Structure 1
Amino acid sequence: MTRASGDINDPARAEAGRSRIDWAAAEMPVLAGIRERFARERPLQGLRISGCLHITSETANLARTLRAGGAGLVLCASNPLSTQDDVAASLVVHDGIPVFARRGEDTETYYRHIRAALAHRPRITLDDGADLVSELHKTQRDLLDGMLGGTEETTTGVIRLRAMAAEGALRYPVVAVNDALTKHLFDNRYGTGQSALDGVIRATNSLIAGRVFTVVGYGWCGRGLAMRAKGHGARVVVTEVEPLRALEAVMDGFEVMPLVQAAARSDFIVTVTGDKHVLDRCHFEVMKDGCVIANSGHFNVEINLPALAAMAVRRQRPRESVEEFVLADGRRIRVLAEGRLVNLAAAEGHPAAVMDMSFANQALAVAWLVEHGPQLAAEVHPVPREIDQAVARLKLDALGLQIDRLTPEQSAYLASWGEGT
């Protein structure tokens, strides 16, 4: 495709992409309601936005919502293996949104696409891992003075942004969408829990029941994955470095032990930590023959693939999303999706119904930044409680559910201190 419309693999797949986007839209009623309001009120009129996000059918519905609000939007991929090429084609062909994303793009192309998105001279950034913000601060600092703010969707990205803020490097405010309760309690737990396990099963077609399934990291994503693996009949082991999370995993009924011990008995190991080289040489040395390892943290650094490659005497691809590393003693270690996000690289990512709340937060946070961005300090900000509450209420309404409300007497009691026993 030409620069004006982005850089995508196959515009001929646009019709298939539109069908996929419309299918997801049916599961995203909260975002649909926001899109209707945005179309009436145009709160983003004339606003330039660049987004570095997973180019999926759910993201496409966020993009349509921002465009309905009047924004000029350019997108690039936040992961080389998460792009759905048919969705990218539909966004370009049917919605006129420039998209710079090709499934399987190399590292050089990945960063070229990020720079192309920044060439849009955005006033707001949308990030999924903080690569866009990082590149902007490293190579496009001339754009910083015009920035209103940004949003960040992932735990990994929020960690990076807080590190930038702590060093005084962050030059504009960013809203931590990831930390909204209607995001991480649902997207991270139920979305990652289901989609990561889906990726493992699609890649291997292996039975989970009765197998030892180790979850590395017991944050919200790890909680969800452990829950879903247990539901499939796995014998679940959790490994952690945080004592409170380890204790919680014990109380939730899981075995807890050091990773080097778990590695020796596991059939499956999935990392969800956001840290580097969590699975390392010492673990590869004790793994069982045929152990399947995968990552559902944002970046492909959680598994030390260079160390594993150095140990291997042969590498082969028995299945599309599986690479087998054969060690000198004949043991085979099977890596899924090149160590990238297994739920997006080997499956389709989170179900649309859970992304409905995450992207509702994104859209409302962008509108909030338009109004409040100039007054905000250059640091990481929480999603305002009123937005979080509104998204939850809209989701309940969409599900046809009602809840109780406090009476005036109850509200007054909770706001007072004088009445006791």
Structure 2
Amino acid sequence: MSQPSITDRLGDPETAREEGRRKMDWAMQHMPILQSLSGEFASEEPLDGEVVGMAMHVEAKTANLVELLAEGGAEVAITGCNPLSTHDDVSAALDAHPRITSYAERGVDDEQYYADIEAVIGHEPTITVDDGMDMVAAIHESFPELIDTIVGGCEETTTGVHRLRAMDADGELKYPVFAVNDTPMKTLFDNVHGTGESALATIAMTTNLSWASKTVVVAGYGYCGKGVAKKAAGQNANVVVTEVEPRRALEAHMEGYDVMPMADAAEVGDVFITTTGNRDVITREHFEVMQDGVLLANAGHFDVEVNLDHLSDMAVDQYEARDGVDAYELKDGRRLNVLAEGRLVNLAAPIALGHPVEVMDQSFGVQAVCVRELVEHGEEYGAGVHDVPDDLDREVAEIKLAAEGVEYDSLTDEQAEYMDSWDHGT
């Protein structure tokens, strides 16, 4: 039996629905890409007859993507991809739509979290839209009978794409999935500007502390790490980068950041922000040498980067120092402060709002056109991970530039011919 939707769980959802709708309307004012696509989707209904199953961060910006897909003719079922990132009022507003069922609820335990994913799968989706790959994994592990009727899927995050590529390499991914995370309109903006701005803003608002003069340790120098480092440096912090990949370490060094192993960075950092997508980035050996009062925040998808089991074992006391901040007091009196329970800080902290609206407009625009592509041309894609077709990525960029009133050059026929030819000399 499927789980009850968010409307069934809330005692009196009307006020929540109104507040959620207010948030969604505000966001939509600043989402010109989704506004542009909404006219096409509503008039042509390219998703008519499809069932879209989604596991994403259910907040106002995501909700506008969900409604776009529903207005495009799809039945949509959605749940959260992180127990602390759902906004219940937005979830209730979505559930009021006749083509949308939302199971997302903030603060669920692990058992309920996976039960909600299975409830979405119970709608028998023909397309999946994931943020972390939990739905794809659940379908393959527990509902393989649905795979033959699934046209394809989209994956939003770095972590999810890494998992999918590993699954694909093992020959276990049985339907096509677009790596939305890896396309330029996502990577260059969402990962860099979105993660950088939202992580730092959330940490500052949660703690009421300044960045100026602090030593900020950024673990990982992929696109997300680059954004965090750049934005922290722009707010007059001293930035240290830790890396395991030599070329990224060199890049960070040549950008002017201090680069060192985490064992050394642990001794000097005031704020630690993990962006690696890997586990055990900060562990017992690092906690042992950290300064009193440090802040520990994770900007990666899953809550495995800061090893809280190690920290709990070391602590003689644990208490809520501030809303969204858990202090772990050690035997020698030092207090190490963990934000948002070690979960994705820019979405899981009590006051978190996620990436800026304009940034997510771009990422969700890519998601929307990829879903449309799967419906229209899904038979052209075999099982496995696929890059987003470049013409779709460009389509979203062109919509954004037009909305911003930005004009740009185009190649002449002669230039295009020159660039496409191999036999031109000097």
Tell me by how many angstroms 1:3 deviates: 3.1
For residues 245 and 75 of structure 1, the distance between their equivalents in structure 2, rounded to whole angstroms, comes to 36
Q: Does 1:117 align with 2:120?
A: yes
For residues 380 and 151 of structure 1, the distance between their equivalents in structure 2, rounded to whole angstroms, comes to 9
Matches within 5 A, 1:9-28: 9=10, 11=13, 12-28=15-31
Alignment correspondent of 1:280: 283
Alignment correspondent of 1:86: 89
Tell me by how many angstroms 1:374 deviates: 2.4
For residues 418 and 180 of structure 1, the distance between their equivalents in structure 2, rounded to whole angstroms, comes to 30
Contact 1:21 1:58 in 2 (8 A): yes
For residues 7 and 169 of structure 1, the distance between their equivalents in structure 2, rounded to whole angstroms, comes to 36
Alignment correspondent of 1:380: 385
Alignment correspondent of 1:399: 404
Which segments of 5 or more consecutive residues in structure 2 lack a partner in the other structure?
none
Tell me by how many angstroms 1:155 deviates: 0.5
For residues 3 and 199 of structure 1, the distance between their equivalents in structure 2, rounded to whole angstroms, comes to 32
- Equivalent position amino acid for 1:380 in 2: V
For residues 175 and 419 of structure 1, the distance between their equivalents in structure 2, rounded to whole angstroms, comes to 36
Residue 53 of structure 2 is aligned with which of 50, 60, 64? Answer: 50
Q: Does 1:37 align with 2:40?
A: yes
Contact 1:8 1:89 in 2 (8 A): no
Alignment correspondent of 1:416: 421
Alignment correspondent of 2:72: 69
Write the deviation string for residues 174-233 of structure 1: whole angstroms up to 9, x where unpaired. 011111100011000000000000111121111110010110000000000001111111
Q: Does 1:350 align with 2:364?
A: no
Q: Does 1:298 align with 2:333?
A: no
Tell me by how many angstroms 1:391 deviates: 0.8
Contact 2:74 2:99 in 1 (8 A): no
2:52 match: secondary structure: strand
2:303 match: secondary structure: coil
Q: Which moved more, 1:290-299 or 1:6-15?
A: 6-15
Q: Does 1:260 align with 2:263?
A: yes
Alignment correspondent of 1:211: 214
1:264 match: secondary structure: helix
For residues 191 and 413 of structure 1, the distance between their equivalents in structure 2, rounded to whole angstroms, comes to 37
For residues 267 and 369 of structure 1, the distance between their equivalents in structure 2, rounded to whole angstroms, comes to 46
Which segments of 5 or more consecutive residues in structure 1 lack a partner in the other structure?
none
Tell me by how many angstroms 1:381 deviates: 0.3
Write the deviation string for residues 147-198 of structure 1: whole angstroms up to 9, x where unpaired. 1111000000001111111111111110111111000110000000000001
Question: Please, what TM-score do these two structures have when normalized by structure 2?
Answer: 0.97
Q: Does 1:221 align with 2:207?
A: no
Tell me by how many angstroms 1:2 deviates: 8.0
1:323 match: secondary structure: strand
For residues 238 and 65 of structure 2, the distance between their equivalents in structure 1, rounded to whole angstroms, comes to 38
Aligned length: 421
- Equivalent position amino acid for 1:365 in 2: C
